[in-house]
């Protein structure tokens, strides 16, 4: 191990791994060494070509062998297939991004490595702009995500799974915005203009969302004129059961995450 920087090894170089590597190294003066698994060769080679501290290993075992901290960014089914065939070391740490893989099962898969933690990185780690939920708070996982915008330590594993369920709401948010834009198109606004208008409307709210202590009820209130149109629309959705459906949808996602596999 280098005296100052751990070597990070990444198994599974897809979307979330790319965001992590970019956040660790892009524009960082003393970027840590990063070793990538070779599958998805084009993506791995692209990262290695643009980021000097990144290299591609010859195989998954070579990633493990070279790493102080192994970051697992495989899909759940691939993790179950791949990890039992790899030899981990007791002196290395493991950080998993794999959804629905409990700490106990993760520890079994990477034994004798015992310093294991889970994380829910989002694409915004690429620009070091999002705090990442982690469990438990090993020094390896908090040091990793402190480089990437910060760690949100969740001590209870069930509560941690709930945060994972909450992170599954992003696509639905864009469907909501798309529905508004499509409605405008149906009423004669050209598609590109409708989508630009909706995107601008919501992008303008990002300053409010970046408040250190966001208060969603207060934000809604600030955009509500009593008896006005925002109030009417919000009440209509509530009466239609949309917010109950959001809660039920989160319950269903959580049930899937914690279901025995």
Rule CB under 6 A: choose which of 31, 122, 153, 234 binds ligand NAP. 122
Rule CB under 6 A: choose which of 97, 125, 144, 148 binds ligand NAP. 97
Regarding 190 and contact with ligand NAP (CB under 6 A), the answer is: no
- Total residues at the site for ligand NAP (CB under 6 A)? 24
Rounded to an integer, what distance in angstroms lies between the CA atom of residue 136 and that of residue 118?
7
Residue 252 vs residues 169, 186, 249: alpha-carbon distances, Å: 12, 33, 5
Rounded to an integer, what distance in angstroms lies between the CA atom of residue 34 and that of residue 37?
10
Rule CB under 6 A: choose which of 26, 65, 78, 143 binds ligand NAP. 78
Contact 85, 110 (CB under 8 A): no
- Cβ proximity to ligand NAP, 56 vs 73, nearer residue: 73
Q: Which residue has the tokens 């992008």?
A: 203
Segment interacting with ligand NAP, rule: CB under 6 A, options 2-10, 67-75, 103-111, 239-247: 67-75
- Cβ proximity to ligand NAP, 21 vs 140, nearer residue: 21
Read off φ and ψ for residue 223, nearest 5 degrees.
-100, 15
- Cβ proximity to ligand NAP, 170 vs 205, nearer residue: 170
Regarding 74 and contact with ligand NAP (CB under 6 A), the answer is: yes
Positive or negative, the CA dihedral 242, 247, 121, 11 is: negative
Fill in the per-residue mask, 10 to 49: x = in contact with ligand NAP (CB under 6 A), - = not in contact.
-xxxxxxx-------------------x-xx---------
From the CB of 237, what's the least distance to ligand NAP, in Å? Answer: 26
Looking at residue 33, the DSSP 8-state letter turns out to be P
From the CB of 13, what's the least distance to ligand NAP, in Å? Answer: 5
Strand spans (E) along 108-155: 115-119, 132-135, 151-153
Strands 69-72 and 8-11: parallel
Which residues form the interface with ligand NAP (CB under 6 A)? 11-17, 37, 39-40, 60, 73-76, 78, 82, 97-99, 120-123
């Amino acid at each position: 191990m280098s005296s100052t920087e751990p070597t990070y090894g990444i198994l599974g170089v897809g979307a979330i791994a790319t965001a992590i590597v970019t956040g660790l190294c892009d524009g960082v003066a003393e970027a840590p060494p990063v070793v990538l698994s070779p599958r998805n060769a084009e993506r791995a080679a692209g990262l290695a070509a643009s980021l000097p501290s990144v290299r591609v290993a010859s195989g998954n075992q070579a990633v493990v062998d070279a790493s102080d901290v192994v970051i697992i960014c495989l899909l759940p089914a691939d993790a179950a297939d791949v990890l039992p065939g790899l030899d981990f070391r007791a002196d290395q740490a493991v950080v998993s991004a794999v959804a629905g893989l409990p700490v106990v099962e993760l520890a079994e898969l990477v034994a004798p490595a015992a310093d294991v933690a889970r994380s829910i990185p989002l694409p915004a780690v690429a620009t070091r702009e999002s705090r990442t939920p982690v469990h438990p708070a090993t020094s390896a996982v908090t040091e990793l995500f402190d480089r990437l915008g910060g760690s949100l330590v969740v001590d209870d594993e069930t509560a941690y799974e709930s945060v994972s369920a909450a992170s599954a709401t992003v696509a639905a948010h864009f469907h909501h915005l798309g529905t508004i834009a499509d409605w405008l198109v149906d009423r004669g606004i050209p598609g590109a203009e409708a989508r630009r208008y909706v995107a601008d409307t919501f992008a303008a709210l990002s300053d409010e969302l970046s408040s250190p202590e966001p208060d969603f009820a207060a934000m809604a209130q600030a955009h509500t004129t009593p008896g006005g149109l925002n109030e009417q629309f919000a009440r209509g959705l509530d009466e239609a059961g949309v917010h109950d459906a959001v809660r039920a949808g989160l319950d269903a996602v959580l049930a899937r995450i914690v279901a025995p596999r």
